[in-house]
Chains A and B, each alone.
Chain A
Amino acid sequence: MAKDPTPLERFIQGIIPENPVYRQLLGLCPTLAVTNNMKAAMTMAGAVAFVLLGANILTSLIRNLLKPHLRIVIFTLTIATFVTIVDRFLAAYMYTMSKSLGPYIPLIIVNCIIIARCEVCASKQSVVTAGADAMGQSLGFGLALASIAAVREILGTGMFFGLRILPLSWPDWVIMVLPPGAFFTLGLLLGAVNLIESYREKGRNKG
């Protein structure tokens, strides 16, 4: 068996080489649903980061007590607890944002990124590695959401983080803010990432 990845490796892998959205194609529901503006996307990324960090650390702490057939129950239980905390926190301190994100915050419970990290990393490795893994993966997820949300908000409304950056004469491409825009953007960006990857692969083979 290969040696387990170190904390640093885990951290770096999460950002680009094993990016949860572009390479693992996980967590696509929030990726499509809340990326029509940067503010919502970044709130979602923050919420997922908190849940992922909490769930990964807790799972790693109790990893020696886990029974194989009961592990998924425990992962879900842990994740649901952290998600509920985030949901209440947003409703108390960021009320309008919590209203506009609607059901997508509670839906983090079924976000596959988190359960995958608990299964792949946290239930097998130390707390430090699990923490680094959570941070890397959340950063990767945040970057992916930011890239899609930036394209959609700028083309769809001419604004970035709610500030106008394109001239008023820009004809807002409303479709970018609508659900089809999410699919177009994700598809094109995924294609671009794969294209770059295939060129790099070729370069490596030659060298």
Chain B
Amino acid sequence: MEKLKNNYIVQAWLVLLLTLCFGSSLAGVQILLSPKIEANKINETRQKIPGLILDKAALERLEKEGGSLEIKPKTIRVTKNNRIVFYKVFQAIENGKVSGWVVKSSGQGYADKIELLIGLNPSLNKILGLFVLEQKETPGLGNKITKWQFRKQFILKSTNMPLVASKTGATSPNEIDAITGATISSRSICSIINTAVKEIRASLKENPINLKPMK
């Protein structure tokens, strides 16, 4: 009897019981709320897509005509340093014709990972829009990458030449004005775009079957 009382498991009966109760109630919370959380995430991305591909006039026209962009989520298989990675892309289709792509891509920023949505034209050689989904750059400096003032520079830039962030003011067409005090954040954005465009193009050229509908 005394031995049983000193047994670890018997002593911990309350811990075990509570674990069970808490575990099951958390599972309940998860089942109840996870559809809503998932929907929030998808919504956030989807809402941004039309604005990344269409300009203001086209957006207004679309709204007036009551039409909407059909958005098809897809994945693109890319081989990177002998590893296979998948890009999430959204194909925007208007009246049966591809009107652009939105590519989700991420890379290292100054503080942490930066996640971007890049809007590209159907032939992937022009940037149509840019949105920063996630960043933890320095408030007041690096986080200006989310501002329209910075992002608008990328619009209609050609992707045939790699983009470069210039500290002294952009002079050539593939240059972007870097944010004062946040050169590294500005460079990160350029390099994320350059890498994504390069890899996606290479992958589609190599084998169009690399593009698959998302399961």
A interface, CB within 8 angstroms of B: 36, 62, 65-67, 70, 73-74, 77-78, 80-81, 84-85, 88-89, 91-93, 95, 99, 102, 174, 177-178
Contacts and interface: CB of A to CB of B under 8 A. Distances in A.
Nearest to B19: A77
A113 B210 CA distance: 53
Secondary structure at the A interface, as helix, strand, loop or mixed, is: helix
A178 B181 CA distance: 14
Contacts of A177: 139-140
B33 interface: yes
B14 A62 contact: yes
B18 A84 contact: no
Interface string B1-36: 000000000011011001100100110011001101
B153 interface: no
Contacts of B41: 95
Contact of A84 (B11, B26, B140): B26
Contacts of A99: 134
B40 A95 contact: yes
B15 A70 contact: yes
B11 A70 contact: yes
27 contacts: A62-B14, A62-B18, A65-B14, A66-B14, A67-B14, A70-B11, A70-B12, A70-B14, A73-B15, A74-B14, A74-B18, A78-B18, A78-B22, A80-B22, A81-B22, A85-B26, A85-B29, A88-B37, A91-B33, A91-B40, A92-B40, A93-B36, A95-B37, A95-B41, A102-B136, A174-B139, A178-B138
Contacts of B22: 77-78, 80-81
A91 B37 contact: yes
B63 interface: no
A174 B136 CA distance: 16
A81 B36 contact: no
B33 A67 contact: no
B206 interface: no
Given A91-B37, A92-B36, A81 B11 contact: no
Given A81-B26, A92-B33, A178-B140, 19 more contacts: A62-B18, A65-B14, A77-B18, A77-B22, A78-B18, A81-B22, A81-B25, A84-B26, A84-B29, A85-B29, A88-B30, A91-B33, A91-B40, A95-B37, A95-B40, A174-B140, A177-B139, A177-B140, A178-B139
Nearest to B23: A81
A95 B140 contact: no
Nearest to B41: A95
Contacts of B25: 81
Interface string B97-108: 000000000000
In the A-B complex, list the 5 residue pairs whose CB atoms are closest, starting with the nearest: A174-B140, A92-B36, A81-B22, A95-B40, A92-B33
Q: Which residue among B11, B12, B33, B41 has the maximum number of chain A CB atoms within 10 Å of its CB?
A: B33
